[in-house]
């Protein structure tokens, strides 16, 4: 190969490298923008809460880790959060209010969560449904 061919090959390689890097940055910025808009939407007053479901795999103070189908999420439970245990399916004495200290690893939980304005997940209500390992 002659000098002009080698130089042309190097210039084309560098151009493709820069183009790939530029496209990578562009698509990463677009991904971040959609995440930011999702946090804004979920932290608005219109969305009061979302529910996370899973098996309680770790308790660390007010932080509960739920696992479902191999994926985990850790939720900081607010001090003002209510924790309920469902006793029966009838309407009479259907629920009992308990504390976080009464939860056990292995319990199946439904945790109502909200997203704060800074993007943090906060648990507002915890429910231990009938049939949990309690």
Burial class (CB in 10 A: 0-12, 13-18, 19+), 111: buried
Task: Give 3-state DSSP helix, strand, coil % of the chain, rounded to 5.
Answer: 30, 40, 30
**How does pLDDT run across 59-89, given as a tens digit for each residue?**
999 999 999 999 999 999 999 999 988 876 6
- Per DSSP bridges, beta strands 71-86 and 121-128 are parallel
CA 98/CA 128 separation, integer angstroms: 10
pLDDT digits (tens, 9 = 90+) for 6-60: 888 889 989 988 888 888 877 776 655 555 666 676 666 777 778 899 999 999 9
């Amino acid at each position: 190969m002659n000098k002009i061919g080698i130089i042309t090959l190097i210039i084309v390689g560098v151009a493709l490298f820069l183009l790939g890097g530029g496209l990578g940055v562009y698509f990463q910025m677009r991904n971040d923008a959609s995440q930011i808009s999702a946090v804004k939407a979920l932290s608005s007053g219109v969305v009061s809460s979302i529910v996370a479901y899973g098996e309680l795999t770790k308790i660390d103070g007010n932080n509960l880790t739920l696992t479902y189908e191999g994926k985990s999420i850790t939720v900081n439970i607010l001090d003002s959060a209510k924790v309920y245990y469902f006793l029966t399916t009838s309407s009479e004495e259907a629920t009992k209010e308990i504390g976080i200290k009464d939860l056990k690893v292995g319990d199946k939980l439904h945790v109502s969560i909200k997203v704060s304005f800074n993007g943090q997940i906060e648990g507002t209500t915890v429910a231990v449904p009938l049939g949990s390992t309690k």
